[in-house]
Amino acid sequence: MQTLYLYYREIIQVMEFIMPVYEFTCSTCGKTFEKNLHFGADQEGVRCPEGHRTVRRLYSAATVLFKGSGFYVTDHRRGGSNETPRE
């Protein structure tokens, strides 16, 4: 039974590692902080490090990394906007 408990504990630690990190700012004191939350988790229980409940989630641009051939500046459709769409 203890082996099963240790196994589940390891799974939970791994799941906490792969959870997304969300950035919040406190409307009361202005501090910015990060919090690991599950996908689709409710942010109502999130508090700032000072204990305030008036927090807002900050949104930022996602990082995209293109790998492989075909993702170069020169790879674009030739011609202008005067082209007629193909059917």
The domains of the chain are located at 2-58
Virtual CA dihedral for 47, 50, 53, 58, nearest 10 degrees?
-60
DSSP-based three-state secondary structure for 44: helix
Which CATH number describes the domain made up of 2-58? 2.20.28
- Rounded-to-integer distance, Cα 41 and Cα 53, Å: 16
- Rounded-to-integer distance, Cα 73 and Cα 80, Å: 16
pLDDT value at position 28? 93
Tens-digit pLDDT profile for the chain (87 aa)? 667 767 777 776 666 566 788 899 999 999 999 988 877 777 788 999 999 989 999 988 877 777 766 656 666 655 555 555 565
pLDDT value at position 84? 57
pTM: 0.52
Give me the count of residues in the chain: 87
CA atoms within 13 A on the CB side of 57: 13
